[in-house]
Amino acid sequence: MLIENDLILKAYDILFDRYGPQGWWPLRSRKEPDLANQEKFGFNKGGYHPGKDIALSAQEQFEIACGAILTQNTNWNNAAAAVDSLIKNNLLSAEAILSVKSEELSDIIKTSGYYNQKAKKLKFLSALLIEKDGCTLSREELLSVWGIGRETADSILLYSYGKPFFIIDLYTRRFLSRISENDNIMTSSYDDLRETIEGAYNFSVKQMQEYHALIVIHGKNHCAKKAICVDCPFAKECKYN
């Protein structure tokens, strides 16, 4: 056992109490703010919809998949600017992505960094989506795409398709390794860690979406590479305190 089930549940409660519902995925094509949550929690910049549960359109599902690729090893602000650029250029469909020249696509998503690789990744994903006639791709099918690894696949599964897969990113490993006694979390295998969290409790999809989003905001506020421990809600549990 990598982490105790109790700790996984407790951490979720502490994060939710501190930061409130995050309403991920932050869609760039949905701009109307949720004023109630903005007032309550003071966040909600740029398309967050905490607790609204508005069904995703096919275009929004595609936006999330593109965003998951564009944010690879990149600050979300840079990735979000690239998503905005896709929207502006009317490229939020697999057909449109395939119809635009690679060089143009690279230029359109330039702010996300690694733009030549990411343009290729968007093209490969689009090709498979069209080949499968727009069907929901399985985890295996997503992983078969050049440029989609475990984390990106799980991001698409969880946030675009609404399927119960827990995302293990660097923030998640850092956070869990710091609050847990286990010293092997940073080096544990992706799927071992994912299955440990998925199996800790019968999380709903909504809770799994919130959990990952909460870990990210906590990672930005406190549990960064260089830890910022002042006013951290895990002062009691964390090794750093």
Partner DNA sequence: CCCCAGGGAATTC
Partner DNA sequence: GAATTCCATGGG
Binding mask 167-196 for DNA (x = CB under 7 A): --xxx---------------x-x-------
Could you say whether residue 240 binds DNA (CB under 7 A)?
Answer: no
Task: For residue 239, count other CB atoms closer than 10 A to its CB.
Answer: 12
**Among 46, 68, 44, 64, CA closest to 56:** 64
Contact 88, 104 (CB under 8 A): no
Candidate list 10, 98, 115, 221; residue touching DNA; CB under 7 A: 115
Candidates 55-63, 91-99, 132-140, 143-151; binding stretch for DNA (CB under 7 A): 143-151
Could you say whether residue 159 binds DNA (CB under 7 A)?
Answer: yes
Could you say whether residue 108 binds DNA (CB under 7 A)?
Answer: no
* Shortest distance, position 170 Cβ to DNA, whole Å: 4
Candidates 2-10, 126-134, 199-207, 214-222; binding stretch for DNA (CB under 7 A): 214-222
Query: CA 174 from chain center: how many Å?
Result: 16
With respect to DNA, which residue has the nearer C-beta, 5 or 38?
Answer: 38
Q: How far apart are CA 55 and CA 212, in angstroms?
A: 20
Q: How far apart are CA 81 and CA 111, in angstroms?
A: 7
Could you say whether residue 45 binds DNA (CB under 7 A)?
Answer: no
Which helix H or strand E contains 6, and what residues bound it? helix 5-19
Q: How far apart are CA 206 and CA 184, in angstroms?
A: 28
Asked whether the bond before 25 is cis by omega within 30 degrees of 0, the reply is yes
With respect to DNA, which residue has the nearer C-beta, 14 or 70?
Answer: 70
Contacting positions for DNA (CB under 7 A): 24-26, 67-68, 71-78, 81, 110-111, 113-118, 145-153, 155, 159, 169-171, 187, 189, 216, 219-220, 224-226
